[in-house]
A = this chain, B = another copy of it.
Amino acid sequence: MEYSEKQIAIIKAAEKLFAIKGFDGASVRDIAHEADINVAMISYYFGSKEKLMEAVFEARSSNIRLKIENLLADDKLSHLGKVNVLIDDYVDKFIHQQEFHKIMMREQMIEKDTPIAGLIHDLKKRNLESIKRLIEEGQKKGAFKKNIDVVLMMTTLVGTVSQMITSQYFYKKMNNLEHMEEVEFQKHMRKKLSIHLKNLFKQSLSNEQ
C-alpha cells in the first residue's frame, strides 16, 4: 500500500500516541491534533480507528525473517557468530522501533482474537522457525549443545530487551544517567544489552564445559 504524506503523518502520530497512551487511551482527536489534520481525515483515509491501528501495524511490522535467512546462508560466520548477529538485530530493531514494540506488547496482553493478534502470532512463528534452523545447524556441527529450548531462549532475548525499553527510565536513574542525551543513551543501552545477552547465550548454548 502506498501512502500519501498526510497518511504517513497520521500513521506516525497514531504510532506515537498508541504507544504512550494505549489504543483506548489515545483518542482520534488526539491523533488528528498530533498529525495536524482534521479528525474526519482519519475515517476518510483509514475507515476507522481500528483500521488505523492495522495500518500502523502493516507499515511497521518489517520482517526480521529475511535477515535470519541470509544469516543461515552466510558461511563466513561461526555458529555462535550468527547467534550474536541475531541478538544485535533484535536489540537494534527494538530500540529503533520502541513505539511500535510497545504497541505490540500491549496488543499481546489483550485476551482477544484481534486481527493484529493473528498477525503478531504468524510473524513470531515464522521468525521462530528460522531461528530454530539456525540453532539446529549449530547443533549438527557440534558447536551448540543438545536440548536447547529455542522458545525459552527467545523469551529471554525478547523479554530482556522489552523489559529494558519498558523500564528505561528506571535503568537511567539506577545508573545515574539522567543527564545523558536520548541518542547517546540509546547507544549505551544498545551496547549494554548486546554484551549482556551475548554473554548469557554464549554460556547457555556452548558445548564446551
Contact = CB atoms under 8 A, between A and B. Distances in A.
Interface of A: 19-25, 102, 105-106, 108-112, 121, 124-125, 128, 149, 151-152, 155-156, 158-164, 166-167, 170-171, 173-175, 192-193, 196, 199-200, 203-204
A24 to B, nearest CB: 4
Nearest to A152: B196
Nearest to A27: B24
Given A166-B109, A174-B125, A199 B192 contact: no
Contacts of A158: 163
A28 to B, nearest CB: 13
Contact of A110 (B20, B156, B196): B20
Contacts of A167: 108, 124, 155
Contacts of A20: 109-112
Contacts of A149: 192, 196
A25 to B, nearest CB: 4
